[in-house]
Amino acid sequence: VSERRYDPTADEWVTFATARQDRIYKPPAGQCPLCPTRDPAHPTEIPRPAYEVVVFDNRFPSLTPNPPAPDVDATPIVPIEPAAGRCEVVVYSDQHDTTLAQVGVERIRLLVDVWGDRYEVLGAEPEIRYVMPFENKGEIIGVTLSHPHGQIYGYSDVPPRPLRELKAAHDYRRRTGGCVECDVVSGEISDGRRIVARGGGCVAFVPSWARFPYEVHVVPEAHRPSLTQVDETERDAIAELLARLLAGYDRLFGFSLPYVMGIRSAPTCAPGELTGRLRQLDGLEALASWDDISHLLWQFAPVHRSADKIKYVAGSEMMGGAYMTDVAPEDAAERLRHAVG
């Protein structure tokens, strides 16, 4: 089964990829598929003896370019479609026992270019309408391979969360004429209490509404819809901030901090192209482009609320979508600000 089914009660799609159940689960270090191929008789996924950053198609993808027809018939109320899309793996280093926090700022700078490059390449494919690089880090997040890596999904629609944010940004722009993220960022900079680090036209801060205790957003201060519009200086600044933030996380907690990271940017299709595929676009489809309402953003969501306590996504969050957080964003930002140095 490789298909997506529409939930008419929530106006969202859910993807089914049952072949993924057979994927490699926590292999021993000697058999890591993301390590370099040191012995040609025992090749890994990467046929090279050494590398910096490698991108390749996930062998167990949730989304494939040419999915088979769905197994179950759609109904008028529950449309079912093949789950088209792309899933790539991004390996950050040929060293098995390192992390993005440890690879150094130059490697992160290269990764920023790789993210930008894949955004453009995958986004140019006609069936892909949204490209989202992300990283799940740490066993507690459910990572099955400990070798440092992230993923890039190319979706055939804008996923629910970014879509909701685009709708909110569109509504904000209609009311005020501005970009909501630009205004949030300038508000945070003038307030200062939730800033973690700043430099080169980019800023890292704990949002006032952080859903996770040590959630941090890293954004260009100028309005940049996606990595395509980010220049070399800003890419340098983003790499620098990411390196400082990740080192700060590990320093503050005293161990390699697990997190979920995701990059939000403009959809890679025209707004009008979504008409008919998504319900309740609230006027988004009439926009000429996403450029005015999309603002590039790195979001980090660690699950720890202290070194020995986890913030679980449980009853209120999972069933109500209502996040309850027991660390004040101002306190989290102050601790992180000291830790990043």
Shortest distance (Å) from residue 18 CB to Zn ion: 27
Among 32, 105, 270, 328, binds Zn ion (CB under 5 A): 32
| From candidates 181, 188, 215, 240, binder to Zn ion by CB under 5 A | 181
Nearest approach, Cβ of residue 310 and Zn ion (Å): 26
In whole angstroms, what is the distance from residue 79 CA to residue 118 CA?
A: 30
The one segment of 35-43, 65-73, 118-126, 329-337 that binds Zn ion by CB under 5 A: 35-43
**Least separation, in Å, of the C-beta of 95 and Zn ion?**
8
Q: Say whether residue 89 binds Zn ion (CB under 5 A).
A: no
Residue 44 or 325 having the CB closest to Zn ion: 44
- What is the crossing angle of helices 105-123 and 232-253, to 10°? 120
223 vs 335, beta carbon nearer Zn ion: 223
Nearer to Zn ion, 182 or 287 (CB): 182
CA–CA distance, 17 with 170 (Å, rounded to integer): 33
3-state helix, strand, coil in the chain (%, to 5): 30, 25, 45
25, 26, 95, 102, 141 from 98: Cα distances, Å = 19, 16, 6, 6, 17
> How far is residue 137's CA from residue 325's CA, in Å, rounded to a whole number?
21
The smaller minimum CB distance to Zn ion, of residues 179 and 301, is found at 179
Residue 223 sits in the site that holds Zn ion (CB under 5 A): yes
As measured in angstroms, the least distance from the Cβ of 252 to Zn ion is: 27
Enter the tokens of residue 213.
């205790």
Residue 223 or 305: which CB sits closer to Zn ion?
A: 223
Size of site (CB under 5 A) for Zn ion:
10
Residue showing tokens 């999309």: 294
Binding-site member from 295, 304, 311, 337 for Zn ion (CB under 5 A): 295
Q: 42, 147, 149, 304: which one is catalytic? A: 149
At CA 65, angle to CA 63 and CA 67, rounded to 5?
70
Stretch near Zn ion under the rule CB under 5 A, chosen from 127-135, 199-207, 275-283, 291-299? 291-299
Question: Interface with Zn ion includes 179 (CB under 5 A)?
Answer: yes
Query: Does 45 engage in binding with Zn ion (CB under 5 A)?
Result: no
Does residue 149 have an active-site annotation? yes
For 148-181, letters b (16+ CB in 10 Å) and e give: bbbbbbbbbbbbeebbebbbebbebeeeeeebbb
170 counts as binding Zn ion under rule CB under 5 A: no
Shortest spacing between CB 180 and Zn ion, in angstroms: 7
Max alpha carbon distance in the chain (Å)? Answer: 63
Task: Please state the closest distance from residue 249 (CB atom) to Zn ion, in A.
Answer: 22
165 lies in the site for Zn ion, by CB under 5 A: no
* 182 is a contact residue toward Zn ion (CB under 5 A): yes
Pure H helices in the chain: 105-123, 160-176, 180-191, 232-253, 320, 329-340
For the record, the structure tokens of 66 come out as 């040419």
Q: Which residues are annotated as catalytic?
A: 149
Q: Which residues of this protein are in contact with Zn ion, per CB under 5 A?
A: 32, 34-35, 96, 147, 179, 181-182, 223, 295
